[in-house]
Every structure is written in structure tokens, then in C-alpha cells.
Amino acid sequence: MNRKEAEDYIFASYMRSEKFQSYNDKDKNKRHPELTKEILENLSTGINIGITGSKGKGSLANMLSQILMAKFRVGLFTSPHILKINERFKVDGKEISDEDFIRIVEDLKIDFDKIEKNLPKSIPISPIGIEAAIGLKYFKEKDTQINIMEFGKGAKYDDVNNVINKYCLINTIFLEHTRELGSSLEEIANDKCNIIKKGQIFAYSASQDRQVLKILKNKAKKEGVKIKVYGEDFYGENISYSFDGMTFDGVFKDRRIKNIKIPLIGLHQVKNAVLALACAIDIYEGLPIEDIKKNLLDLKYPARFEIISKNPLIILDACINKKSLEPIKESLKALKIEDITSIVGIPDDKDYFGVVSGVKDISKNIILTKTSNSHYVFTDEQRQKLLANKIFVETSPDIKEALNMARKYKSPIIILGTTSLISESKEFFKTTGLS
């Protein structure tokens, strides 16, 4: 088995069943986390921390990893990846090697094949369940003390929720993945709140819509878990922006950590960092603060208001819905970046309309583009719908052409889109020496 074959194996069961499933079915009708429950529970060793939310899970997970690395050996499982699947499995910030990845997939294949052979054609083993097993097995081999596990879209039917977590963090929940999770904010919150389970030490929440917070607090009370909330139990203040990142103080019940700096831009990233710190302080109150600050300065998380180039100014962000656009616009305003050219590459079934209509007021020009990933559908219906709403856009077949078109306007450029667009943009920037 080579690396591609190992990666293909992760998705093989899902690909087998996909044509027998209804695209519009909710997760509860087509996901089967019970298939991986025994494997993931048996692999759950040490202190595991689960992370869910609607956006910012990856940033939060990476920050928590950097913070805890000041004292502990830390495993980190996140998704999706930008360039290579190895990015999903890290120990102390270092990606799994191809050799270890292949070997572990081959080892786990024995158990997963036993499950696969008895499944009906419409029921698959979830790829994220296999990936979580890869992560946990790798972390166990590397003797990690703490493992951070990022959930997928939801929680109730997410295989990662089979991992036995001592702590959980819930980033902001908003209306997204409505096809899979539910059409209302309450339905989505009622799915994601299932990350809170009896036996956990603490749950932590970002600031939330009032009805979401009520659902989370009720779930925590039912499970006998104490929940701490941004704005009630901890918060950030003295916040300032720069092109190099954010500076702020973290305020907790009995302490203040001053002058924290992170190389990510946006008020939401400050909130992520303070949320991560709240958890880390409870795990080990004696964490070395100066080491934490140094580790946070080393934080790297691509495509989150990532400044690729300052001259010309090019910003890259994996934004695929209008809600996620809000902190981007907030950051552009704070940094006084105006009259931009927006390149947007979001498939038909995602919120391309919300994003394009959202950037209309700050953009001199808008260019629609697409990716080569065959799983994503881009049609001219996007342009037609936007035109019908008096939003005028140009179109391009790929990111290279889109950037060529954008450069003629001699204005700041922001690229917004799905992960595959981010990957293709990164690859293109490598060839031009910008990344």
C-alpha cells in the first residue's frame, strides 16, 4: 500500500455507498457512528479533548495544541487538510510521516474490513471515523499525554464523538450544514450539544446566540458537567489589530494574562485563543505563561485571513458562507483595507450568494472562479442569480486566470472559497514565489 492507496482506503466505504444514499438525507438517516464505537473507545487513552462548533474549530484546536505543548506532549487531529492528508495528524505540531500513515492504515484495515464485509450497500463506515482511529493509534504510539480531536459537521452522529473526552469546547454555533444537521438554529445546536457527556470535567463555550446557549447549558446540567462561557467566565480585552496579528489580554476568574500576541488576524481569533486558554488553565494551572506566549507566536494556520503577500496585498480565507464573512469584513475595516477585488470560488450547493452579496459593498470588482475538484459543482447559474439581483461579476475558469484578471485592477485582492480552491491557490502561489 502506498500513500494514495492508504488515503483512498479511508474513503472507499463511503464512495461505495454514496450512490445508494439520498443526497438530501439528514445525518441521522445516513451516518452510523455505532460502527466505529468499539474501535474508538478502545483507542481512547490519556486526556482527550473534543472540539465542535460551526466555524473556527480548526483554529481553536491548533491554538489549544500550541498552548498545551508548553507542558505536555500533544496529539492533534483536525480536518480538512489543505495540501496533504498528513496535515490532519500531528504530534507536538509535527505531521505524521507517510511511512507511519501507511503502516497504521494497514494495521487498522484488518478491523475495519471485518465491519465492512457485513454492511448493506447503502451503509458506509464514515471516513472521519477511520481518520479518528488513525489519529488515536498514532498518538498512542507517540506516548502523547493529551489529544485534541476536532469533530466534523455535527456531534450527535459524528464518529469522533465515540472518543472518550474529558473536556469539550464548543465554538460559535450558527445556521450552517442545514441539509445534514437541520433547518433551524435550534436543531443544529441540539445536534452539536451532544459533545457534552456525563463524566467530563468541564465544557467550554464561545459566546453564543441566546437560544443556543440555553440549549448548551441545559445539556450540561442534564449530564452533570460544569460549563464555562466566553463573556461570563473569561474574556479578552485591550485588543489591537496589526498586519502581523492580534495583541490582547486574557481575563479569567482569578487571573489576567497580559500582552498575548497571535499571528492570526480577527477578533474571532482573540476569542478562540481565550477560549483555548480557559481550558488549558483548568487542565494545569501552572502552565508556563512565557512559554505559552512563545508557542502562540509560532502558530501557523493557513487560509484564515492569511496574508499571502503585502505588495501586492493578497489575502486568502476559506470562507464559504455569509456568517463566516462577518469577521473578515471586520478585520478589513480595522486594518483600513478598502476598494478590494474579491475572488470567490464556492460551489453551487454552498452559500456563494451570501458571500458575494456580502462583499459587494466593499469590492470594486468581483470575480467568480471554480476548482478542478470533480466533487464540487460550479455552474453559470451562480452568475445568473447574482445578475438577477443586480450583482455584477466577472467569471474565470480557474484561480490562475482569476488572479491575472484581478491584478489589472491594482487593488487589494481577497480570495474566498472552498478548501479545494485554497489548495489550488496555495499550489499556484508556490510556483510564483508568493508562498
Q: How confident is the model at residue 122 (pLDDT cuts 50, 70, 90)?
A: very high
Query: How far apart (Å, rounded) are the C-alpha atoms in residues 280 and 167?
Result: 10
Q: Which grid coordinates belong to 426?
A: 496555495
Cell of 167: 473536556
What is the Cα 291 distance to its own chain's centre? 25
- Nearest of 136, 152, 164 to residue 192 by alpha carbon: 152
Segment 293-332, tens digit of pLDDT: 999 999 988 899 999 999 999 999 999 999 999 999 999 9
Say yes or no to pLDDT of 435 above 70.
no
3-class SS of residue 202: strand
Residues 412 and 363: their CA atoms lie apart, in Å, by: 10
Cell numbers placing 406? 484581478
For residue 217, the model assigns a pLDDT of: 98
pLDDT single digits (tens) 132-177? 999 999 999 999 999 999 999 999 999 999 999 999 999 999 988 8
pLDDT above 90: residue 361: yes
**C-beta separation of 51 from 148 below 8 A:** yes
H-state helical runs in 193-236: 210-223
Query: Phi first, then psi: what are they for 82, rounded to 5°?
Result: -95, -50
**What's the confidence (pLDDT) of residue 180?**
86
Helix (H) and strand (E) counts in the chain: 16, 17
Exposed/middle/buried for residue 362 (C-beta within 10 Å: 0-12, 13-18, 19+): middle
d(CA 324, CA 171): 13
| Distances 119 to 35, 125, 132, 173 between C-alpha atoms, Å | 10, 9, 20, 33
pTM: 0.93
Instruction: List 416's β-bridge partners, or say none.
Output: 317, 344
What pLDDT sits at residue 419? 92
Confidence band of 29 (pLDDT split at 50, 70, 90): confident
The answer to whether residues 56 and 159 touch, using CB atoms and an 8 Å cutoff, is: no
Task: Report the alpha-carbon distance of residue 301 to residue 293 in Å, rounded.
Answer: 16
Q: How far is CA 122 from the centre of its chain?
A: 28
Q: How far, rounded to the nearest angstrom, does the alpha carbon of residue 172 sit from its chain's CA centroid? A: 12
- Whether the predicted pLDDT of 55 surpasses 90: no
Of the candidates 197, 64, 125, the one whose C-alpha atom is nearest the C-alpha of residue 77 is 64
Per-residue pLDDT of 248-278, as tens digits, reads: 999 998 899 999 999 999 999 999 999 999 9
Residue 169, helix vs strand vs coil? strand
How far is it, in rounded angstroms, from Cα 202 to Cα 189? 18
38's grid cell? 468499539
Q: What residues are paired with 307 via a beta bridge?
A: 315
Backbone angles phi, psi at 314, to 5 degrees: -130, 125
Burial (0-12, 13-18, 19+ Cβ within 10 Å), 273: buried
d(CA 425, CA 194): 36
Map out the domains of the chain with their CATH numbers.
3-298 (3.40.1190.10), 306-432 (3.90.190.20)
Residue 9: enclosing H or E segment and its boundaries?
helix 3-18
Alpha helices by DSSP H, 44-146: 57-68, 98-116, 127-141
Note the pLDDT of residue 431.
Answer: 86
What pLDDT shows up at residue 301?
Answer: 86
pLDDT tens digits, one per residue of 75-104? 999 999 999 999 999 999 999 999 999 999
Question: Could you give the C-alpha distances from 223 to 203, 374, 384, in angstroms and in order?
Answer: 11, 43, 49
Residues of the chain with pLDDT > 70, as a percent, come to 100
Q: What is the distance between the alpha carbons of residues 54 and 153, in angstroms, rounded to a whole number?
A: 7
